[in-house]
Structure 1
Amino acid sequence: MTTTATPAPAAETTHGAVQHRLLRLAEGLTARPKTVLVIWVLVIAACFPFASQLNDVLTKQGASKVVPGTSSARADRLVEESFPARSQRESIVAIGAPDVRSSQLRAMLADLDEQIATRVRTGEVQQSTSAYTLYRDSTTEYLKRLHTQVDQQLAAAQTPATPDTRRQAVDAAVAAGQVPAALADPARQAVAVTDDAQLLPISAAFTKATDWRTFPVPVPAEAVDRLVAKDGKATLVSVSFAKRAGHDPDVDWLRSAIAGAQRAAGAGPDVEAHVTGELALIKDTYKKAEDDNALMETVAYAIIFLVLLLFFRAVVPAVLTVAAIGLAMTVSQAALFALGHGVTLTQFTITIMNFVMLGAGVDYSMLLSSRYRQERLAGRSPKDAAVHATAHAGESMLLAAVAVVLAFGATLFSPVDWIPPLGYGGLIGIPIVLLAALTLTPALLVLLGDRFFWLGRDPLADLEHGSALGRHLKRAADLARRRKVAIVLLFAAVTVPFAVITAQHRSTADPVALSPATDSRTGFELVAREWGDASVLPTLVVGRPDPGVVDGQHHLTDSGRKAVTDLTDKLAAVPGVARVSAVTRPFGTPVGAADLDALGPDVRRDYLSDDGALRIVVELADKPYTEAAVHTVDRIQDVTAAARDVGPLAVGGATQVDRQYGDALDSSFWQMIGLVSVGVFVMLVFALRSLLIPIRLILTIMMSNVWAIGITVLVFHFWLDKAIIDDLPIFLTVLMMGLGMDYEIFLVTRVRDLVRGGADQESATVGAVVDTGRVINAAGLVMAGSLGTMALSSTIMLQEYGAGLGLAVLLDATLIRMLFVPATLLLFRRYNWWLPSLRRSSAPAPAKAG
């Protein structure tokens, strides 16, 4: 059997203003390739010190889900201002043990409190509350009152108040049963001190040594129940970080302090201690994702290098491509370091930027070098081949990069905090990697010539047309030509069920359900098991009351007490509300003014701040992120809106934040689709002189997204029974509206060039599929592989992002671009290039028959 050699493609001339400008740019660059390389070396050397400091400007806490301008934002701001100890800066230490009231656990809590007290004195921690501090402070108040009573008794008896006479008075009170016998020693010490501050160590020693189950000092049982589980097997410690601790409070220090307290108390392995709360949950999730980066990047580079080796069939171009992208990343990281001093950036910003630069950079490099090989096969010299490859491939690269920049630029208009940092990474990374591809790669091609393809097996052969993949692509294009109507109908039919799944799936922003196995998640589960989810993630009603509700001493007036009592009674009666805590009912049950004063000012400040703000805590009967909880919050809003006697109130808390965050996501989703669609449509109308192609491009991107989201929901929700993150659709849309357009632009610009060269629509479409299919398939594998490695993360969020993106890119680069797009091009034929009012002489026109 004989084989026929594939004829070399004919050399093409440049068309259009963009290609002519790129041709002149390439001629200038290739005339001084060494200068180009030296400039890049200098730029990279200057950027390296700044790139290495990038982590210093990243927030470790991640982006807030509180949407500016919402009621939850107003509530969050007021809590931060007036109740900082109960804001999102509050962390919870959850401790489990066979008996948390044992001597070992009392010693552990006492030691932990001493360590926290050092941070209180430095201003990093605002306050801390635990069962230990509750018993200790109650003892201090008791001893303080006793000291006052003894002095009053001695004064009434006209007896000098000396240490001896005070001790004698205590002994008499103990003998008369007026003071519990267990308190005799601390009482004798207390009446001898001259400063109230000296009472604290006496109370601390007594609290540490005394069994809390038989504690002689009266302590409100409701307060104890908030901190110690009914079965005595769990207890909580609240630690509120001050503003001085910065945006990222040192939760890890708290964990170290707990471990030290455990060792000091000799607590055994049956004692577990975890730091939880919203702050710790988000921080641990981001830390876990950051730790996974090394594995993800290693696998991504391995996939990229393997695909490049298969694509180039040579070692040197694969190494040079990866090296050039890596150096471009250094410049991008330095630029982000400068930007990070003015905007919020997260580790997620860097992760996405790196993966996007890897995928896009490889796309551009493969397209350019593939075109270079085609120009060499057409007979051009290495320098001319580099120049013309840059002019032809550069236009596709430039259009693709502009589409990506438009997609990432649209994110800056979103009110959702995490979306703009995603945009910053793309806006900086894509132009830099494009610049590297348009300057570094041509310079290397000129300097190395065909040696660019060293250490390979026949790399300058016509791989697009003569390889097995080329023949497969030819068959796929022929199938699209012969069965174009059937293919279009089949793709539309398959899209329908995926669209239904995408529209109806239940997503969530629940930080617990979406967090990996971390210390904070284990702690949250311990708290939820003993006290319920709502104790950690309650609903809040916050506001500054009208004049007359609070007096000048930060107490409720008589009319204010009645108004607040009426409001809290109504809230407690709302279906779905389990408990309401406020200044009139600090432990969920109503108390009088005198009883509240007896509990001390700290209890009052939890619900009525020193600046006169009110805080009402509503614990829901249902889990905070369920539909039932949302309906309950709706009813709570109705009640608070009608409470005109109290003043304007804002409803916040976990359920409200999640609901308003979801609304903002939906709004951002459609806003970004609109902005990007309009921007890309306008750009491609002028670039391609077509109305239909930009519209179809946008619709096919959405088709890829719908398929990918549908499959991701099927796998994670229906098969693995995992929660689906509500960010997934918008995340896929942002990236695919940019990156997914690369393949369409590569294909369609090739069709246009072939039509300009005289080919008819049918042969141009089939030829373009073969010419670009190898690049598109390889680029899709690279992009899907690099972005898909996020599925290796231990966090569900990144797993779903990786699976969704990998599927979307793979489907887009194979089935959709190799079958659906050619089928639609062939179906519409000359209407692909229809643009009545803007037709130009440079627009492609069908070749004459024959």
Structure 2
Amino acid sequence: MTATVTPAAPETTPGAMRNRLLRLARVLTARPKTVLIAWAVLIAVCFPFASQLNDVLTKQGASKVVPGTSSARADQLVERSFPDRSQRESIVAIGAPDVRGAQLRALLAGLDGRIAEKVRTGEVRQSSSAYTLYRDSTTAYLRQLRTQVDQQLAAARADTSPEARRQAVDALVSVGQVPAALAGPARQAVTADDSALPGLAAGFAATADWHAFPVPVPADAVDRLLAKDGTAALVSVSFAKQAGHDPDVDWLRAAVADALRTAGAGPDVNAHVTGELALIKDTYKKAEDDNALMETVAYAIIFVVLLLFFRAVVPAVLTVAAIGLATTVSQAALFALGHQVTLTQFTITIMNFVMLGAGVDYSMLLSSRYRQERLAGRPPKEAAVHATAHAGESMLLAAAAVVLAFGATLLSPVDWIPPLGYGGLIGIPIVLLAALTLTPALLTLLGDRFFALGLRPLSDLEHGSALGRHLARAADLARRRKVAIVLVFAAVTVPFAVATAQHRSTADPVALSPATDSRTGFELVARTWGDATVLPTLVVARPAPGVVDPAEHRLTDTGRTAVTALTDRLAAVPGVARVSAVTRPFGTPLAADQVDALGAELRRDYLADDGALRIVVELADPPYSGAAARAVDRVQDVTAAAKDVGTLEVGGATQVDRQYGNALDSSFWQMIGLVSVGVFVMLVIALRSLLIPVRLILTIMMSNVWAIGITVLIFHFWLDKAIIDDLPIFLTVLMMGLGMDYEIFLVTRVRDLVRGGADQESATIGAVVDTGRVINAAGLVMAGSLGTMALSSTVMLQEYGAGLGLAVLLDATLIRMLFVPATLLLFRRFNWWLPTLRRARAEVSPR
């Protein structure tokens, strides 16, 4: 094997960090087998726990309700006082040619029977459908009929035997006071116990013709459950707290499928489980199912890039294996953490891809430095020691930057952001530990055999390859055209910044969800009843004294007047389609006696037993539109003036989205500020420079702006898809950590060359060539692994993948290979300016 040997750079006095790394490397290389055994034991201990990780993940996903906001207070009040109408409510949407026909009656009756089993176990609070409405109306009618017969017989002092009761019913049927169709159940009802009446009513409601139902049923209530054209029906299912944090929507789907089979429903009948809970769960399930494909493609990309980078099979295999082992340890650590905090499937997705990208970065940097040390003439063991010390410093700085970025996420009030941070906080230190211990141990044990099964892997690939020559030309271009390059990059950033600032974004779970059962169901509901049926705006209140009579569970006269006035004002708000409350449960005002006569279940939808009030405001526009947000602003103005009703809170999908967006913006700038300050301080201390940390942060922002701009062009303008509103913060959090790897690799090499005696120009060009191959390969690996999220069926992961892949690729190529060298050469000695550390500045100042 022919190797081009380059002289080792002159050694300078190492700093404290490098001294510690040298001592660590000597310990590791002295006992490499012990290191491998320790990792084997750790993996054996961690594997059983890692395999249980899915058990501690929430399947519902993180909530977008921001603590401390009016929507959070409204959500808490609804959860406590109106649990049947909380986020635990799911909807079964049924489409059929005739939802009032015998087949659909059997289907709804069968489904209600299956749900009743869960009601008895306490997992479901209740269900509502047209069937239960007809059944309960019939039950009330039979109960009233029995009372009427009792009164007639008592007044006539007649015989009260069962036969006499049946004859009394026959007499009422003959004069038309009882519908003939109801004669059979009526004759049974007057001789049965009260507990038997619901069963009699259930049998009648399932078999009687709903087109001409003989018992009075509120038409407005029917219209909310059966489409006026008879082609769609709704079933509401409210899960109880006993069902846990993740109610079993899959069970409900199985119950619907079973009811469809039992009823003999044909292919023209379809049923879907939807609602906010089902939409989120289905999206997370899709993301989980996509993981296998994304990880397979990511590993394939990584392996191909590693083969091209090392020009050998063994290091590629060992690198991927080491990251896989580190991932097992990380998953076990997340399993332990998952018992204390909320973790989602996205926590795992992000952790896996971040560990893949960062782990490959570290491994390539360390093994590349080992090869350079061998080419400089050091024996294998000593080369491993020096490679670990030199590369380890860059790796530690890069990992610290990532940890800072992910740590900042824990301070966000937005629920989904901290779970994202946990994945990075745990995964990065563990994959760094693997790179700093496993790789030196393997290099020591295998020596040059670490690069076995390859094509001249120990040759000078940095300087002698075609890529090395290309990097040298790029660095020379940056030297000759540094001002022009800086101006061109700044000019290109402007249109991308405009596109980023003006892009249309949303948190709409429907627009961002893949093709799922819940999305199909939502679209069926939206076409028939409107989006607000599933995603309404809510006004909830703790009533003022004197508004509710707690003993009678009804409004007082004063309360009725105040609530009526409030709902009238809300109904008059531009952008409001309908308002429902205890004084107008079907959207139109009721007289006082009609309000008092409301059934208990219907009344509890709007006036809880504890006195809380619930008002449903249905907006005319889609809930996540700008028009809906403006309508909610006007609703808030109305509720703020209604002091006579009580303490009013506005919640629901539109309000949650608005306040979530505000919290997201606040979190975005807080995290950028926190991470920027943390990284700035860390790098000032480590690199002895004020300018380099500032430029690093600005170039990361440039990468983000370019990537978001291109993503918006692709998804919004080309594919006409909604842009998820948390894309900028997601991209920034990851790139503020991961994107710094490349700058740190490059700048620490420039610093080492300057300390070794090179001038600024030679050091910059030399560093671009020395590190460019690692940075380009690492960028391809990171872009490839993170970019595989674009293969997901969920729009949010597609956009995350496209945005991250583009950001990393742009950062590792154009920005680090052209823009950064140009600015280094433009500022020259000012790169290392640090006024309070003159000694350090003199040490690295270019000649």
TM-score of the pair, normalised by structure 2: 0.99
Any conservation in 1 of the 2:506–2:724 contact (CA below 8 Å)?
Answer: yes
Give the counterpart of 1:398 among 396, 399, 402: 396
Distance 1:345 1:594 in 2: 51
Specify the alignment match of 1:339 in structure 2.
Answer: 337
Whichever residue aligns with residue 30 of structure 1, its letter is T
* Pairing 1:159-174 to 2, within 5 Å after superposition: 159-174=158-173
Specify the alignment match of 1:787 in structure 2.
Answer: 786
Deviation at 1:7, TM superposition (A): 5.0
Instruction: Summarize deviations over 1:64-106 as a string: whole Å, max 9, x none.
Output: 0000000000000000000000000000000000000110010
Task: Kindly indicate whether residue 425 of structure 2 is the aligned counterpart of residue 424 of structure 1.
Answer: no
Q: Tell me the secondary structure at the aligned position of residue 561 of structure 1.
A: helix
Specify the alignment match of 1:546 in structure 2.
Answer: 544
Task: Kindly indicate whether residue 223 of structure 2 is the aligned counterpart of residue 238 of structure 1.
Answer: no
Specify the alignment match of 2:405 in structure 1.
Answer: 407
> In the comparison of the two structures, how many residue pairs are matched?
844
Whichever residue aligns with residue 795 of structure 1, its letter is T
Q: Tell me the secondary structure at the aligned position of residue 624 of structure 1.
A: coil
* Pairing 1:736-747 to 2, within 5 Å after superposition: 736-747=735-746
Deviation at 1:651, TM superposition (A): 0.2
Whichever residue aligns with residue 360 of structure 2, its letter is V
Specify the alignment match of 1:209 in structure 2.
Answer: 207
Distance 2:46 2:262 in 1: 48
Task: Kindly indicate whether residue 494 of structure 2 is the aligned counterpart of residue 496 of structure 1.
Answer: yes
Task: Kindly indicate whether residue 549 of structure 2 is the aligned counterpart of residue 564 of structure 1.
Answer: no
Q: Tell me the secondary structure at the aligned position of residue 614 of structure 2.
A: strand
Deviation at 1:838, TM superposition (A): 2.1
Specify the alignment match of 1:517 in structure 2.
Answer: 515
Whichever residue aligns with residue 363 of structure 2, its letter is S
Distance 2:621 2:755 in 1: 65
Any conservation in 2 of the 1:753–1:844 contact (CA below 8 Å)?
Answer: no
Specify the alignment match of 2:772 in structure 1.
Answer: 773
Deviation at 1:842, TM superposition (A): 7.6
Task: Kindly indicate whether residue 461 of structure 2 is the aligned counterpart of residue 467 of structure 1.
Answer: no
Task: Kindly indicate whether residue 734 of structure 2 is the aligned counterpart of residue 725 of structure 1.
Answer: no
Any conservation in 2 of the 1:108–1:262 contact (CA below 8 Å)?
Answer: yes
Distance 2:3 2:668 in 1: 51
Instruction: Summarize deviations over 1:781-809 as a string: whole Å, max 9, x none.
Output: 00000000000000000000000000000
* Pairing 1:479-628 to 2, within 5 Å after superposition: 479-551=477-549, 552-628=551-627
Distance 2:3 2:239 in 1: 74
Distance 2:555 2:840 in 1: 80
Deviation at 1:645, TM superposition (A): 0.7
Distance 2:604 2:846 in 1: 82
Distance 1:843 1:720 in 2: 55
Whichever residue aligns with residue 782 of structure 2, its letter is M
Any conservation in 1 of the 2:134–2:217 contact (CA below 8 Å)?
Answer: yes
Any conservation in 1 of the 2:554–2:596 contact (CA below 8 Å)?
Answer: no
Whichever residue aligns with residue 400 of structure 2, its letter is V
Whichever residue aligns with residue 313 of structure 1, its letter is R
**Alpha-carbon distance change, 602 to 122 in structure 1, aligned in 2, over 3 angstroms:** same
Give the counterpart of 1:291 among 289, 308, 312: 289
Distance 1:584 1:404 in 2: 56
Instruction: Summarize deviations over 1:271-294 as a string: whole Å, max 9, x none.
Output: 010000000000000000000000
Deviation at 1:12, TM superposition (A): 4.5
Specify the alignment match of 2:690 in structure 1.
Answer: 691
Whichever residue aligns with residue 347 of structure 1, its letter is Q
Any conservation in 2 of the 1:16–1:842 contact (CA below 8 Å)?
Answer: no
Deviation at 1:839, TM superposition (A): 3.1
Distance 2:146 2:598 in 1: 18
Distance 1:61 1:495 in 2: 38
* Unpaired runs of at least 5, structure 1: none
Any conservation in 1 of the 2:46–2:332 contact (CA below 8 Å)?
Answer: yes
Give the counterpart of 2:367 among 369, 389, 404: 369
Specify the alignment match of 1:36 in structure 2.
Answer: 35
Specify the alignment match of 2:701 in structure 1.
Answer: 702
Any conservation in 1 of the 2:3–2:375 contact (CA below 8 Å)?
Answer: no
Q: Tell me the secondary structure at the aligned position of residue 758 of structure 2.
A: coil
Task: Kindly indicate whether residue 64 of structure 2 is the aligned counterpart of residue 65 of structure 1.
Answer: yes
Distance 1:27 1:645 in 2: 77
Deviation at 1:752, TM superposition (A): 0.2
C-alpha RMSD of the superposition:
1.0
**Alpha-carbon distance change, 9 to 229 in structure 1, aligned in 2, over 3 angstroms:** farther
Instruction: Summarize deviations over 1:111-132 as a string: whole Å, max 9, x none.
Output: 0000000000000000000000
Distance 2:826 2:195 in 1: 88
Whichever residue aligns with residue 198 of structure 1, its letter is A
Distance 1:53 1:150 in 2: 63
Distance 2:503 2:682 in 1: 34
Specify the alignment match of 2:352 in structure 1.
Answer: 354
Specify the alignment match of 2:800 in structure 1.
Answer: 801
Any conservation in 2 of the 1:759–1:846 contact (CA below 8 Å)?
Answer: no
Distance 2:675 2:162 in 1: 81
Instruction: Summarize deviations over 1:333-359 as a string: whole Å, max 9, x none.
Output: 111011000000011100100000000
Deviation at 1:592, TM superposition (A): 2.5
Whichever residue aligns with residue 82 of structure 1, its letter is S
Specify the alignment match of 2:261 in structure 1.
Answer: 263
Instruction: Summarize deviations over 1:558-593 as a string: whole Å, max 9, x none.
Output: 000000000000000001100000000000011124
Distance 2:209 2:488 in 1: 74
Deviation at 1:644, TM superposition (A): 1.1
Specify the alignment match of 2:275 in structure 1.
Answer: 277
Distance 1:372 1:272 in 2: 63
Whichever residue aligns with residue 681 of structure 2, its letter is V
Whichever residue aligns with residue 183 of structure 2, its letter is A
Q: Tell me the secondary structure at the aligned position of residue 268 of structure 2.
A: coil
Deviation at 1:19, TM superposition (A): 1.0
* Pairing 1:298-313 to 2, within 5 Å after superposition: 298-313=296-311
- Percent sequence identity is 85
Q: Tell me the secondary structure at the aligned position of residue 224 of structure 2.
A: helix
Distance 1:260 1:43 in 2: 47
**Alpha-carbon distance change, 29 to 842 in structure 1, aligned in 2, over 3 angstroms:** farther
Distance 1:47 1:12 in 2: 44
Specify the alignment match of 1:184 in structure 2.
Answer: 183
Any conservation in 1 of the 2:703–2:810 contact (CA below 8 Å)?
Answer: yes
Report the more deviating stretch, 30-39 or 823-832. 30-39
Specify the alignment match of 2:435 in structure 1.
Answer: 437
Task: Kindly indicate whether residue 225 of structure 2 is the aligned counterpart of residue 227 of structure 1.
Answer: yes
Task: Kindly indicate whether residue 831 of structure 2 is the aligned counterpart of residue 832 of structure 1.
Answer: yes
Q: Tell me the secondary structure at the aligned position of residue 13 of structure 1.
A: coil
Specify the alignment match of 2:384 in structure 1.
Answer: 386
Any conservation in 2 of the 1:689–1:843 contact (CA below 8 Å)?
Answer: no
* Pairing 1:38-53 to 2, within 5 Å after superposition: 38-53=37-52
Any conservation in 1 of the 2:127–2:236 contact (CA below 8 Å)?
Answer: yes
Deviation at 1:16, TM superposition (A): 1.5
Q: Tell me the secondary structure at the aligned position of residue 587 of structure 1.
A: coil
Any conservation in 1 of the 2:363–2:439 contact (CA below 8 Å)?
Answer: yes
Any conservation in 1 of the 2:451–2:457 contact (CA below 8 Å)?
Answer: yes
Whichever residue aligns with residue 150 of structure 1, its letter is V
Distance 1:590 1:654 in 2: 25
**Alpha-carbon distance change, 844 to 703 in structure 1, aligned in 2, over 3 angstroms:** farther
Any conservation in 2 of the 1:11–1:375 contact (CA below 8 Å)?
Answer: no
Distance 2:621 2:294 in 1: 37
Instruction: Summarize deviations over 1:366-422 as a string: whole Å, max 9, x none.
Output: 000000000000000000000000000000000000000000000000000000000
Whichever residue aligns with residue 326 of structure 2, its letter is A
Distance 1:525 1:9 in 2: 69
Whichever residue aligns with residue 656 of structure 1, its letter is Q
Deviation at 1:724, TM superposition (A): 0.2
Deviation at 1:554, TM superposition (A): 1.3
Instruction: Summarize deviations over 1:600-636 as a string: whole Å, max 9, x none.
Output: 1000000000011000000000110111101100000
Distance 2:248 2:702 in 1: 44
* Unpaired runs of at least 5, structure 2: none
Instruction: Summarize deviations over 1:472-522 as a string: whole Å, max 9, x none.
Output: 000000000000000000000000000011011120000000000000000
Deviation at 1:9, TM superposition (A): 3.5
Distance 1:635 1:801 in 2: 34
